[in-house]
Chains A and B, each alone.
Chain A
Amino acid sequence: MPITSPGGAAQRSSAAILLLEDNVLVRMPLGEYLRDCGYRVLEATTFAEAEALLRAGIRVDLVFTKVRLAGGRNGFTLANWLRRNHPGIKVLLAASVAHAAEKAGDLCASGPTPSPEHHGTVLRRIQQLLHQARRTGGGSGKDNVA
């Protein structure tokens, strides 16, 4: 369902990415990077959240997630569910955080607005945030970047 604004103002045509990532210190930089390239980015932390957003009819063109997710779930299960229930939505699975940054770079290269930032910069930011969180005792520590 395309997004329309009341009053007939210009329709937003940017592709919408649903970013499913349960670690906020990974999700935040990835989401911001994709938004800087002109994508609308919706954020979800669990399968249930992703399903809720889709069930609400919010426009999603691509679901972007990691293969390994919290709670022992994996991205393949989600991909299969999407293929059955939302065949028009593309799925992009990343094997790791580093791989996700690379994939985000690919998305930005073909995005609505070319981003001056290389995906390596985003990856370094994620690594910094995770490292800092581990050092100060915060963060879940469950993400290996590589």
Chain B
Amino acid sequence: MPLPRARPENGSSDRPQRTILIVEDVAVIRATLAEFLRDADYRVLEAVNAAEAKAVLDSGTPVDLVFSDVRMPGEESGVDLALWTRQQHPGAAVLLVSGFADTAGGRALPADIPVLRKPYILGTVLQRIRLLLREVGSGTS
């Protein structure tokens, strides 16, 4: 299966490289997203669940955006992770992915957390991420 490619952003060499942390427990989805975003010139870190994501964020590794599914194995949902990230690592933007039937454990999605609805195409992921990272500004945490 060929992994889809993205084109690097124009002028990407003029800007510091941004770091995206992908939180996704389905390996093939995670690998596809990661390679796509690496091809778009992002530094991409991978986590399979909230615990790994928190370990990465707490390690001091600078992360500009956390891209997480709402559904996650274990007790914590992507919403829990998003709220935790907002509190502990406010410099990181958050983008959640949600399916129509996802309830995040019965928890309503807070209105102010950016959400990408499934099904999505990779181009849309890139668009949303670019938008969020520009809004965050210089990316200082």
Q: Please report A residues at the B interface, Cβ cutoff 8 Å.
A: 1, 3-6, 9, 24-25, 27-28, 31-32, 35, 40, 42-45, 49-50, 52-53, 56-58, 129, 132-133, 136, 138-139
Residues of A within 8 A of B35 (CB): 40
Tally of chain B residues near chain A (CB < 8 A): 26
Q: Please report B residues at the A interface, Cβ cutoff 8 Å.
A: 1-5, 26-28, 30-31, 34-35, 38, 43, 45-48, 52, 54-56, 58-61
- Contact residue among B5, B27, B46, B52 (Cβ-Cβ distance under 8 Å from A6): B5
- Contact residue among B38, B52, B59 (Cβ-Cβ distance under 8 Å from A129): B59
- Write the chain B residue with the least CB distance to A7: B5
Tell me the complex Cα distance, A35–B46, Å: 13
Tell me the complex Cα distance, A114–B61, Å: 24
Tell me the complex Cα distance, A52–B52, Å: 20
Tally of A-B Cβ pairs under 8 angstroms: 66
Residues of B within 8 A of A139 (CB): 55
CB distance from B25 to the nearest CB of A (A): 9
Contact indicator A25/B28 (Cβ below 8 Å): no
Top 4 A-B pairs, shortest CB-CB distance: A49-B27, A5-B5, A57-B1, A24-B52
Residues of B within 8 A of A35 (CB): 38
Contact indicator B56/A24 (Cβ below 8 Å): yes
Residues of B within 8 A of A4 (CB): 2
Contact indicator B58/A136 (Cβ below 8 Å): yes
